[in-house]
Amino acid sequence: MEDQEKKPLLGDRDNGPVVAVPEDDVVLEGCGGTLACDPRRALHKYLILIIMCFLSFGSYFCYDNPAALQDTMLKDLNINESIYMLFYSLYSWPNVILCFFGGFLIDRVFGIRLGAIIFSLFVTAGQVVFALGAFFNLPIVMHIGRFIFGIGGESLCVAQNTYAVSWFKDKELNMVFGLQLSFSRVGSTVNMNIMQPLYDAMKKSFPDQQGYVILGGTLMIGVGFCIASLFCSFALAYFDKRLERILRKEEAKTGEVISLRDIKDFPASVWLMCIICVAYYVAVFPFIGLGLVFFEMKFGLSPSAASACNSVVYIISAGASPLFGFCIDKLGKNIFWVITGVIITLACHACLAFTWINPFVPMVIMGFSYSILASALWPIVAMVVPEHQLGTAYGIMQAVQNLGLAVISMVSGMILDSKGYLVLEVFFLIWLCVALIASVLLYLVDAAKGGHINLSGFQRRKIQKANEEADEKSK
């Protein structure tokens, strides 16, 4: 059993990613009991993983459409900055609550398969409305579109996380989360880089059209990605169902149903993770949002160097998260990695605040520490919350994170404008200290309960093996 488990796993690490991309369509067309299609084989799981990653690609791509076309939108739609900012706030504020309910609905009402499909539909519909609004120069319609898009967007991420746990629990979860993170980054980076050139190209081919018509047309490209993601949600539903049928796996949701009251019985570690999540993320993302001027004015970087420096965290996390995830799968000790990530980020921020060291150094290191933290933190939820409550737990965490980001982004802007970057950096440092204290507490709480989360990879595999043997005996 042990050998069988290990063999395909090692083998696929070499083959999987290389073969996987072109075979994506083949998988969709169905097949028999070949290596790629047998749900018991690891290769099949890795192909599913690719579909899973593409599940939220459309939503990440479209989320940053306004940013990629900011100047164009302001000009073509003749709107001011605050109307433009509404494109984002109409997404983020409702999601402070919505994705919590999204997670709960996944657990309680829809189930994961239907849930993912429904949320994908919302994302696609939202983007269609958004693009049509631009096409007819109706900013209000565009706002409605963003709101519809928002209903689906974050909840889709919750669905994606839940899928990841149900397919990869205990073995490759850190790596899977890392890979999903990296895909989300790729999604927004691709968007940032292609939307403006696409707009310019369309403008060239239809020189007689009004700017907003071209804008609408360009945004329709986003709809294409959303539809691709929608197909992924159907495919995942099919394969998940198939897996259940073939393996005769009992559906985790049957029997036990979560009610809203169960939330208060969530283990303390879930709430600690929410604190870490908020306190850490607010020290990274709002900072990146305000970083450009900081790099230009404090360190004298040219604007292009400053924006490169600003996006280096995203680029590194896209590459490094799956790798770190893979390593953490092998090494275990998730809490240790979380603490490491927080401490390194703390040092980076201190460096930016109190020294004149070239900002590329701390930002690159921050990119790595962020990857470590992100790929170690999210899988912990699956270790402490039973599977039938996972959607809700991820929903809560995402909701708290959204709330934190929305509020702290505003507060950061206010601090910056009244007291400057030094105080702002101190503000972020304080948040990181909170994250550090929460993660140390998480370690203590876990240690008091027997150190289940912070097992090393070796210990975890040993337990797993014992567990499987026990299962076999009972059969």
Partner 1 sequence: MFMTSSSPLPHSIGVVQLPFLHHMTLSVPATEMGRTLILVSFICVLACNIYGDSTEATRKLSSIQYNPGCENDPICKRVSDSGSAPNLLYAYSVGNDTLHYFFSTVGAPTFLVAKTPGKKQESLNVSWTDFLSVNDTNVKNSVKLPNVNYAFAVVFTKLYEYNDTNDHADFTSIPNDEWNWNIRDFAKQFVWKGLNTTELNNPVTVRTNLSMTNIDESYISFDWKLFGNHDRNTEVPHLEHTINDTQFNFLINNWPTFCEKSRFGLELVMMGTDGVKHMTNIEESKSLDDEYTPGVFTMIDWSTQSKVLASDTDESKQLGGYLQWKPVVYLTEERSSQKQTQAKHYDTMKADHSVIKSMVPMRSLAMAFFGDQLNTMTLNATNISFGLPEDGFYAKSNYTVWSGSIGYGTPPQDEISILVIIVIAVGLGIPVVLIIFGGLIVCIKRRRSGKGENILVNVAGTRYDAIN
Min separation Cβ 467 and partner 1, Å = 6
Min separation Cβ 385 and partner 1, Å = 13
Q: Considering only residues 7, 241, 245, 419, which one is a binding residue for partner 1 as defined by CB under 8 A?
A: 419
Q: Considering only residues 50, 427, 438, 442, which one is a binding residue for partner 1 as defined by CB under 8 A?
A: 427
Give the nearer residue to partner 1 in terms of CB position, either 246 or 422.
422
Q: Is residue 241 close enough to count as binding partner 1 by CB under 8 A?
A: no
Give the nearer residue to partner 1 in terms of CB position, either 290 or 374.
290
Q: Is residue 354 close enough to count as binding partner 1 by CB under 8 A?
A: yes
Total chain residues near partner 1 (CB under 8 A): 45
Q: Considering only residues 418, 472, 473, 475, which one is a binding residue for partner 1 as defined by CB under 8 A?
A: 418
- Nearest-Å Rg of the Cα atoms of the chain is 22
Min separation Cβ 167 and partner 1, Å = 21
Q: Is residue 197 close enough to count as binding partner 1 by CB under 8 A?
A: no
**Segment interacting with partner 1 (CB under 8 A) among 178-186, 201-209, 321-329, 434-442:** 434-442
Q: Considering only residues 296, 323, 360, 457, which one is a binding residue for partner 1 as defined by CB under 8 A?
A: 296
Q: Is residue 33 close enough to count as binding partner 1 by CB under 8 A?
A: no
Give the nearer residue to partner 1 in terms of CB position, either 205 or 474.
474
Q: Considering only residues 71, 250, 265, 472, which one is a binding residue for partner 1 as defined by CB under 8 A?
A: 71
Give the nearer residue to partner 1 in terms of CB position, either 273 or 436.
436
Q: Is residue 290 close enough to count as binding partner 1 by CB under 8 A?
A: yes
Min separation Cβ 312 and partner 1, Å = 18
**Segment interacting with partner 1 (CB under 8 A) among 113-121, 223-231, 320-328, 354-362:** 354-362
Min separation Cβ 317 and partner 1, Å = 25
**Segment interacting with partner 1 (CB under 8 A) among 141-149, 150-158, 294-302, 372-380:** 294-302
Q: With helix as H, strand as E and coil as C, how does the chain read?
A: CHHHHHHHHHHHHHHHHHHHHHHHHHHHCCCCCCCCCCCCCHHHHHHHHHHHHHHCHHHHHHHCHHHHCHHHHHHHCCCCHHHHHHHHHHHHHHHHHHHHHHHHHHHHHHHHHHHHHHHHHHHHHHHHHHHHHHHCCCHHHHHHHHHHHHHHHHHHHHHHHHHHHHHHCCCCHHHHHHHHHHHHHHHHHHHHHHHHHHHHHHHHHCCCCCHHHHHHHHHHHHHHHHHHHHHHHHHHHHHHHHHHHHHCCCCCCCCCCCCHHHHHHCCHHHHHHHHHHHHHHHHHHHHHHHHHHHHHHHHCCCHHHHHHHHHHHHHHHHHHHHHHHHHHHHHECHHHHHHHHHHHHHHHHHHHHHCCCCCHHHHHHHHHHHHHHHHHHHHHHHHHCCHHHHHHHHHHHHHHHHHHHHHHHHHHHHHHHHHHHHHHHHHHHHHHHHHHHHHHHHHHHHHHCCCCCCCEHHHHHHHHHHHHHHHHHHC
Residues that bind partner 1 (CB under 8 A): 71, 290, 293-294, 296-298, 302-304, 353-356, 413, 416-423, 426-427, 429-430, 433-434, 436-437, 440, 444, 447, 449-452, 455, 459, 462-463, 466-467, 470
